[in-house]
Structure 1
Amino acid sequence: MQPYHFSTTNQVSNIGEVIGTIAGCLNIITEWLGDFKTGYCSTNFYLNKDFCCFGEAEETCSAWQTWTEFGLFKYVAFVAFSVLFGFVAAVLCKFYAPTAAGSGISEVKIIVSGFILQSGFLGWWTLFIKAIGLPLVIASGLSVGKEGPSVHYAACVGNVIPKFFKRFDRSYVNQSQFLTAAASAGVAVAFGSPIGGVLFGLEDITSTFKLSTLWKSYYCALVATGILSLINPFRTGQIVIFEVKYESDWKYSEIPFFIILGIFGGVYGILVSKFNIKAVAFRQKYLSNSGIKEVVFLCLFTSMIGYFNEFIRLDMTEGMEVLFHECGEGYDHGLCKADGSSKVAFFFSLIYATIMRMFLVVISYGAKVPCGIFVPSMAAGATFGRAIGILAELMFPCKEGSDQCIISGTYAFLGAASALSGITHLTVAVVVIMFELTGAIRYIIPTMICVGVTKMINDNFSNGCGGIADQMIKFNGMPFIDVKEDHDFEDATVEEAMTDTVVALPYIGLVAQDIETLLARSKFSVFPVIYHSENPIVLGYVLRTDLLAYMNKMKKERVGGVKPDDGIRFVTDNKLVLLVEDHILNSLTNSQILEGSPDILFEPVVKFQFFRVSVNASLNSVLQTFIKLGPLVLTPFAPWKYLCVG
């Protein structure tokens, strides 16, 4: 038998390999679909524009054919394909995996913290539809990103792969660590930032980050980015499309502009979060049954107005590559050639793109398709930052031969960092992600200045609401313990917080119809398994999702199916002797054991390991137990009275 630590590392390797492979395929498909809106490769239809014209200048590439040479028809084709891609993604989500819609970061956070979501949220179908729908949505041009969904599909991988092995399938501790490691790897492959992904998991995903989890996250991110680099989706040796390097250094005279960018990031995060919550509330109230129509309208609106502005029309990562780039030899974009009045025109074009991007993010994030908010926020910050950079160039024109010139591309980079920090309320992870994206070692201090100012704006004016993921958790009423907030229950005890309504399952005596009725009438996510209603000794607990899944499995696999009067047994007699003390068993009479035919054994889904706390324990100590140990449920107990709550 292999040592335990080796088996765990092996599972992390498997998870990282699958995540890296999916990410590489998604990058290739997304690039192809994005270019397909304007044309196709006549020599190899499956190649995108860059691969089709590899080694050739765009102007001389004869292999790439546009759909039409007429400007109006180009516009119509662009809009039509955008709407088509969004429509297909929305249909897939609605009819095959509704759980694949949205970002998924909020839900992953609460699952890691111990809350049980509906069955299938981290299942195979969600993974499959998320992986198919995500490139369609990105290619449609909607102002949504792939980073949040990357965390979700990565968490799906971290959930389904260990289920092939019983050793890990039923261990909550391992499950939590695998999900955290997978989420870190998801960010790592989305940004091409392995260390940034690990720090993201530490800052935003889990509140019980043990050293063993740190190692799993590190190793999973390493394997995933290694596989992505091996696939080389952009055929450049880079694992992100907008990786650039800055050769020039920053100047102390630029610090006021860095502060302005930091202020923008804080204001951006506050405004976009506030109005997006209002948009989500409106969507839930009036558009809950019109998800596909809403996505079609958003794609139509975005493509129609975005076509005429380069920085909205371009794929957001391609747009950031343009904005981040340092002008110099071998780079001749119009931004670098602009001077005088043309710079002013670019300035207003960038400001317009920033405003429109913010508006589009507000109305698009949360639609019924896979959608994230990280890259759109970075794109808005990049256009604003480049506009400030142009303004700085106009105020302090570069003298010929001087080495003190303003590099406006760095302002786009810093603006993107500020906006990302503003929407997520992350600091260290953002700085490291931006550093790994660009290799801009010289700009670590400016990045820290911008993110630091953004953090101060968030702390002082956001009323402690947290990042967009935390706000969505609160908006949806999901139970989540945020360790970054202050919690004080004064002298309250466990007994004061316990509910009077308890649903417990005797280990023997129920029939199949009782389980069906229980699931239909009760909303509890955890059910304690007890010895007997008159002697409620807790033997273990079973999750609602496991109970439902096992019952459905028995209906399919059991000869003759499941009849309403078939008996249910949760624990075998041999197991019972090990769980309950002898003197308690001897004190029970045979008449206290309910009669029933033990036809179906649910023991495979019963979890026998749980924490016990006294009913007289303070809620403050219970809170610390949840935060530091991360249990799924706690079992309050008093002499001869055992109840289970989660």
Structure 2
Amino acid sequence: MNTNALADEELEQIKRYQDFTTIDWIQDSILERNRRLQDAKRNSAAGYGPRTASWFFAQARRAIHAGQSWFVVSLVGVCIGLNAAIISIVTEWLSDLKMGYCSDGWWLDQNFCCWEIEGGDTDVCDSWHPWSTVSTARGFVYTAFAGTFAFVAAHLVRSLAKYAAGSGISEIKCILAGFTMQGFLGFTTFFVKSITLPLVIASGLSVGKEGPSVHVACCIGYFVATMFKRFAQSEGKMREVVTAASAAGVAVAFGSPIGGVLFSIEEMSHAFSIRTMWRSFFCALMATVTLAAMNPFRTGKLVLFQVTYDRDWHFFEIIFFVILGIFGGLYGALVIKFNLQVATFRRKYLAKHGVAEAVFLALITALIGYPNRFLRIDMTESMAVLFRECDGDVDNICETATQWRIANSLILATVIRIILVILSYGAKVPAGIFVPSMAIGATFGRTVGIIVRAMYRTYPQSGIFAWCDPNVPCITPGTYAFLGAAAALSGIMRITVTVVVIMFELTGALTYILPTMIVLLVTKAVGDMLGVNGIADEMIRFNGFPFLEKEDHAFGVDVSAVMKHELHVLTETGMMVQDIERVLAATDVKGFPIVSTDGFRTLIGYIGRTELLFVLERFRKVREVNDETPCSFKSSGAGGHQHLGMDEDANANVFESASSSEGLQFWPWVNQTPMTVSPQLPLEIVMQLFKRMGPRVILVEDHGMLTGLVTVKDVLTFIATEKFDHDPSFEERGGLDGLLEELWRLTTGVTEQIRNWGRRFRGR
């Protein structure tokens, strides 16, 4: 038997984490440190001196090793850029397919079909053919395509990859914090979500592709990194790659590499080192360059709604900017509150009807949205229209004669899309909320811009408008749409700096940084007053994931009020194999504290459940073990190695030496220095230890005596059950969930009554 190979295999087996468990980042750091020490020791033993030829080989090996991380993030960025370009092209084609087809090639969308004609105007483009010249028939075809796309997408998600549903940002935040979800970043999830995402967007559902694009990017990062042993063995290095991939996902979604990096810092990751920041930026840059080279929109721009503003703003407009900020804060609070109620209803009644729900929502959205121009076209295309400056030669959105009709359509589109977003986000299809929120903010902002411009044209020389230069357009409604989109995005995600940078990179206009900051500060203030978190954090709470928020909390209690007092422990000596197996069979805990046998419960160490099971199995392969075989967790005093901290020489004979004639010695796998705290330590500090150092469990000892332990789930349970300092809300009095339940009961009752009438009729 090759003992070295066996030891390496066992270490990898011990290291692996089970599904829906948390990663112990301290343990992972120990593993990574030991690998570095073993590599250094191996190089030293090989005789890589400065006068040997092998020394040059060693230097080259170190250079390759150092550059491997940059190569991996570069490869990840290129793959993300290619995938984003393909998804954008397919999405545009499917969206235009609902309206017509190209006679020059069925695979061409409207822009490619009419690329020789400025604006792709179908009235003068002979190659583009609408499905019918009758408006009613076109609406029927539009609705049929929408329902078909939604059905195919929902069916593929339900049948092949359940994790492909939703946005994925909430789950990725938990994964980056150390929560294991097997398959969430797998190839099947990536493949299904890449296929279904264009279908969902083309179906017209009020959902976006930006959130799912982050999930797809993280799947690519995870898949590429697993092909390199160095990353596959280290959870810490894998986290760096996934973090960099999330930045690249936002970068290709908005054409904003710096905004993508800031999004990862502000929203995604708890621990963000300088090294991770640079790699995230490099990955985002590679993805953006690749997307620009692909040029999916044939405009030279990275996103469809990218614009450039040449006009300046006026200080009196701050009044209206504040209105947009208030709208963003109210919008975020409204959608988050009611969407959670819809999610509760969906979980209770529609869990088995995901496909039917998606098709129903797509059909309703198409039927309601088709008559309204701003609901009928794709949301990114709608924003491209709403963001425009009025130069006099664009379409009728800037014509004075039709401004009030357009304003009415915009208000109606705002209200309808808010309702549709509340109902659609969380359906069992790939669904994001970035672009729908921006589209809602854009329609509302454009409405405000039209009203302000009408006020200026009516009273050009009075009041605040007297400062305007009559030779230059004073009010630019497109900028109001732009700022409204920023406010809505900030309100729903509760991020500020990232949105400022993304909006700046979209426009390239330094002059509009200050208005954007003003709008977002007002949005944040309104959100803070209403006491709402971002929708990603709220969905984490709703799903019960073990995730601690970044903000500090002052609960005024010690860790002794939260910790578990009744523990399953192992004694240092005096246990037999049957005793250990009995404890393992009777419990499902992830690890066991080890205490002394003198009755004082002096803490000796800690051993994980996975390690204990694996070591027992290996002992049985090395020697004969029966139920009466004694087991010892006591250190031999020879400077023993902590669990997973053995060097290569110790690994070679570890099982043979630990299985002596006196019994089985478990001490090499015992963590003899687990993280411990005093029972009087404030809970806020313990939360900081979990967030910054990432242990799976913290033991509580009082003067060396074990008194309890605490995990992230214990902290979250305490927060959920103990902190109720608010008045009964609309939701607690029934809320939208109660209203939906009443509608559901009414619908099912009417349906059952119709069925009974049908049976009676057939019986006659």
Range into which the TM-score falls when normalised by the shorter chain: 0.7 to 0.9
| Structure 1 residue 358 corresponds to structure 2 residue 418 | yes
| Structure 1 residue 384 corresponds to structure 2 residue 448 | no
Q: CA deviation at 1:532?
A: 13
Q: Aligned pair in 2 of structure 1 residues 241, 269: CA closer, same or farther (>3 Å)?
A: same
Query: Does the residue aligned with 1:497 lie in a helix, a strand or coil?
Result: coil
Q: Among 483, 488, 501, which residue is 1:419 paired with?
A: 488
Matching residue of 1:557? none
| Structure 1 residue 486 corresponds to structure 2 residue 553 | yes
Q: CA deviation at 1:103?
A: 0.9
CA contact under 8 A between 1:527 and 1:644: conserved in structure 2?
no
Q: Among 526, 532, 543, which residue is 1:457 paired with?
A: 526
Matching residue of 1:629? 693
Q: CA deviation at 1:253?
A: 1.8
Cα displacement string for residues 541-594 of structure 1 (whole angstroms, at most 9, x for unaligned residues): 4779xx99xxxxx9xxxxxxxxxxxxxxxxxxxxx9744799x99999746539
Q: CA deviation at 1:636?
A: 6.3
Cα displacement string for residues 254-296 of structure 1 (whole angstroms, at most 9, x for unaligned residues): 1111111111111111111111111111111111111101001
* Distance in 1 between residues matched to 2:263 and 2:241, nearest whole Å: 15
Q: Among 649, 655, 664, which residue is 1:593 paired with?
A: 664
Q: Aligned pair in 2 of structure 1 residues 361, 503: CA closer, same or farther (>3 Å)?
A: farther
Q: Among 84, 90, 94, which residue is 1:23 paired with?
A: 84
Query: Does the residue aligned with 2:400 lie in a helix, a strand or coil?
Result: coil
* Distance in 2 between residues matched to 1:543 and 1:458, nearest whole Å: 44
2:432 alignment partner AA: G
Q: Which runs of 5+ in 1 are unaligned?
A: 549-553, 555-575, 596-602
* Distance in 1 between residues matched to 2:239 and 2:290, nearest whole Å: 24
* Distance in 2 between residues matched to 1:26 and 1:594, nearest whole Å: 56
Matching residue of 1:267? 330
- Structure 1 residues 45-124: aligned runs within 5 Å: 45-56=106-117, 57-58=120-121, 59-114=123-178, 116-124=179-187
* Distance in 1 between residues matched to 2:672 and 2:76, nearest whole Å: 26
| Structure 1 residue 299 corresponds to structure 2 residue 362 | yes
Q: Among 248, 262, 267, which residue is 1:199 paired with?
A: 262
* Distance in 1 between residues matched to 2:607 and 2:274, nearest whole Å: 29
Q: CA deviation at 1:88?
A: 0.6
Q: Aligned pair in 2 of structure 1 residues 542, 501: CA closer, same or farther (>3 Å)?
A: closer
* Distance in 1 between residues matched to 2:705 and 2:522, nearest whole Å: 57
Matching residue of 1:241? 304
Matching residue of 1:333? 395
Matching residue of 2:99? 38
- Structure 1 residues 138-287: aligned runs within 5 Å: 138-287=201-350
1:45 alignment partner AA: W
Matching residue of 2:676? 613
Q: Among 495, 498, 510, which residue is 1:429 paired with?
A: 498
Q: CA deviation at 1:216?
A: 1.6
| Structure 1 residue 370 corresponds to structure 2 residue 434 | no
Q: Aligned pair in 2 of structure 1 residues 495, 278: CA closer, same or farther (>3 Å)?
A: closer
CA contact under 8 A between 1:538 and 1:643: conserved in structure 2?
no
- Larger gyration radius, structure 1 or structure 2: 2
* Distance in 2 between residues matched to 1:527 and 1:247, nearest whole Å: 63
Query: Does the residue aligned with 1:484 lie in a helix, a strand or coil?
Result: coil
Q: CA deviation at 1:441?
A: 2.1
| Structure 1 residue 135 corresponds to structure 2 residue 198 | yes
Q: Aligned pair in 2 of structure 1 residues 607, 24: CA closer, same or farther (>3 Å)?
A: farther
Matching residue of 1:125? 188
1:377 alignment partner AA: S
Q: Aligned pair in 2 of structure 1 residues 481, 413: CA closer, same or farther (>3 Å)?
A: same
CA contact under 8 A between 2:295 and 2:301: conserved in structure 1?
yes
CA contact under 8 A between 2:658 and 2:665: conserved in structure 1?
no
CA contact under 8 A between 2:605 and 2:672: conserved in structure 1?
no
Q: Aligned pair in 2 of structure 1 residues 531, 70: CA closer, same or farther (>3 Å)?
A: farther
* Distance in 1 between residues matched to 2:107 and 2:187, nearest whole Å: 27
Query: Does the residue aligned with 1:386 lie in a helix, a strand or coil?
Result: helix
Q: Aligned pair in 2 of structure 1 residues 154, 415: CA closer, same or farther (>3 Å)?
A: same
Cα displacement string for residues 168-208 of structure 1 (whole angstroms, at most 9, x for unaligned residues): 12322222222221111111111111111111111111122
Cα displacement string for residues 13-59 of structure 1 (whole angstroms, at most 9, x for unaligned residues): 12212211111111111001101111122212211110111122522
CA contact under 8 A between 1:537 and 1:640: conserved in structure 2?
no
2:433 alignment partner AA: I
1:40 alignment partner AA: Y
* Distance in 2 between residues matched to 1:532 and 1:97, nearest whole Å: 48
Query: Does the residue aligned with 2:676 lie in a helix, a strand or coil?
Result: strand
1:50 alignment partner AA: N
CA contact under 8 A between 2:569 and 2:594: conserved in structure 1?
no
Matching residue of 1:474? 541
Q: Aligned pair in 2 of structure 1 residues 543, 11: CA closer, same or farther (>3 Å)?
A: farther
Q: Aligned pair in 2 of structure 1 residues 494, 222: CA closer, same or farther (>3 Å)?
A: farther
Q: Which runs of 5+ in 2 are unaligned?
A: 1-60, 461-468, 618-638, 647-653, 712-764
Superposition TM-score, scaled by structure 2 size: 0.71
2:116 alignment partner AA: G
CA contact under 8 A between 2:262 and 2:498: conserved in structure 1?
yes
Cα displacement string for residues 332-357 of structure 1 (whole angstroms, at most 9, x for unaligned residues): 21111x224x2111111110000001
1:300 alignment partner AA: L
Cα displacement string for residues 584-617 of structure 1 (whole angstroms, at most 9, x for unaligned residues): 999997465399xxxxxxx9xx999996335658
* Distance in 2 between residues matched to 1:532 and 1:593, nearest whole Å: 17
Q: Aligned pair in 2 of structure 1 residues 189, 635: CA closer, same or farther (>3 Å)?
A: farther
* Distance in 1 between residues matched to 2:271 and 2:422, nearest whole Å: 32
* Distance in 2 between residues matched to 1:54 and 1:404, nearest whole Å: 31
CA contact under 8 A between 2:113 and 2:127: conserved in structure 1?
yes
CA contact under 8 A between 1:27 and 1:233: conserved in structure 2?
yes
**534-543 or 123-132, which moves further after superposition?**
534-543
* Distance in 2 between residues matched to 1:265 and 1:494, nearest whole Å: 41
CA contact under 8 A between 2:659 and 2:665: conserved in structure 1?
no
**172-181 or 632-641, which moves further after superposition?**
632-641
Superposition TM-score, scaled by structure 1 size: 0.84
Query: Does the residue aligned with 2:270 lie in a helix, a strand or coil?
Result: coil
* Distance in 2 between residues matched to 1:166 and 1:529, nearest whole Å: 32
Cα displacement string for residues 415-470 of structure 1 (whole angstroms, at most 9, x for unaligned residues): 1011111111111111111111122322111111111111110111x22x311111
CA contact under 8 A between 2:222 and 2:241: conserved in structure 1?
yes
Matching residue of 1:566? none
CA contact under 8 A between 1:138 and 1:146: conserved in structure 2?
yes
